[in-house]
Amino acid sequence: MTFIPDFMGSTGSVSAWEEALLVAMIQYPVPVIKGPADIQTQVDQICKAVATTKAGYPDLDLVVFPEYSTQGLNTAIWTYDEMLLRIDSPEIDRFRKACRDNDVWGVFSLMEQNDDPSLPPFNTAIIINSQGEIALHYRKLQPWVPIEPWSPGNYGMPVCEGPKGSRLAVCICHDGMFPELAREAAYKGANVYIRISGYSTQVNDQWIWTNRTNAWQNLMYTISVNLAGYDGVFYYFGEGTVCNYDGNVLQQGHRNPWEIVTAELFPRLVDKARENWALENNIFNLGCRAYVGKPGGEKENYLTWVRDLANGCYKLPWDETIRIRDGWKYYPEGVKLGPISQAGLPG
């Protein structure tokens, strides 16, 4: 299939200022995956999209693909060995080559086989630099319960140095609904927070709200992109969103598959806001409350949930009444791991 960029939106152009980080987010059409061969088709298409997008935007620094763009969302087959990848898989080597050949950074999604094959896989994002090296390896911390059968991420929230003075972190889909994860990325120095998603329309409004609040509460850019199109079950809304560090939307995609949402970002401005703002500097003020009334501010932890989480005793007042506590309705026989049976692919 030939990649044709039908729709483009930009707050910049095909070129960028010296200090500007030019980003392009691909509203990738939701893949319908029925077997391993279909994954190879997506890898071909993604690599071609890297090349053609860079050709269209010669100054492009970073191209971002949504969650599930590589291996799809077929819940009947997505945990079987043949449907999984590893960081050293040939498919990932092809992504690395595409970034190196086109002198561009890239963000890619993979469902990653667990180091212990008796445990469920990880939902993973990687950032590859323009030399083809893996600059960041992230495993989804908050899988979308009660449907996603992934192991909880065990790498925390890593941050890496990116191009044009950026410091990058990436979260995956439902992760973005947790303000704690955005705060963790900012606390570790991220000034550009990337969110890749495979959401259907049930949470379209919340997607935009959380992208904006994650930016504002942490004084950082957020760039977020979702799958687009219909897979025969759900409609995926696209709507790539670029938010300024003051929470305002700089660029908003539509619902078009293959739409390219672009923007020029200035990471140095984030750094300057964090250094010079006072009233708006909530991430700083959290750790030194009331520094006007108390010189240096109050530094003692006053948050019960933070203390309880740290001590392994996090429990809500309504915990006993919570009804949905596992994925039994979706996986009544448990998550199926291992090779596909000789009977062939289920589903």
**CATH classification (class only), 8-286+317-321:** alpha beta
Tell whether pTM > 0.85.
Answer: yes
3-state secondary structure the chain: CCCCCCCEEECCCCCCCCCCEEEEEECCECCCCCCHHHHHHHHHHHHHHHHHHHHHCCCCCEEECCCCCCCCCCCCCCCCHHHCECCCCHHHHHHHHHHHHHCCEEEEEEEECCCCCCCCCEEEEEEECCCCCEEEEEECCCCCCCCCCCCCCCCCCCCEECHHHCEEEEEEHHHHHCHHHHHHHHHCCCCEEEEEECCEHHHHHHHHHHHHHHHHHHCCEEEEEECEEECCCCEEECCCEEECCCCCEEEECCCCCCCEEEEEECHHHHHHHHHHCCCCCHHHHCCCECCCCCCCCECCCCCHHHHHHHCCCCCCCCHHHCCCCCCCCCCCCCCCCCCCCCCCCCC
Catalytic residue among 47, 99, 140, 148: 140
If we measure between CA atoms, which residue out of 97, 86, 186 comes closest to residue 139?
A: 86
Q: Answer yes or no: 180 catalytic.
A: no
**Contact predicate 211/197, CB 8 Å:** no
pLDDT at 342 over 70: no
Of 117-126, 312-321, 332-341, minimum mean pLDDT range: 332-341
pLDDT, residue 346, reads 67
Per-residue pLDDT tens for 246-282? 999 999 999 999 999 999 999 999 999 999 999 999 9
Catalytic residue among 47, 67, 164, 171: 67
| Mean local confidence (pLDDT), 156-169 | 98
For 156-193, b/e burial (b = at least 16 CB within 10 A) is ebbbbebbbbbbbbbbbbbbbbeeebbbbbbeeebbbb
pLDDT, residue 13, reads 63
| Mean local confidence (pLDDT), 172-183 | 98
Q: Answer yes or no: 140 catalytic.
A: yes
**Contact predicate 231/200, CB 8 Å:** no
Mean residue pLDDT across the chain: 93
| Mean local confidence (pLDDT), 156-173 | 98
| Mean local confidence (pLDDT), 169-180 | 98
CA–CA dist 202, 157 (Å, integer) = 26
Of 4-18, 35-49, 77-91, 152-166, minimum mean pLDDT range: 4-18
pLDDT at 15 over 90: no
CA–CA dist 210, 197 (Å, integer) = 13
Catalytic residue among 160, 171, 173, 243: 173
- Domains of the chain, by residue range, sit at 8-286+317-321
| Mean local confidence (pLDDT), 156-180 | 98
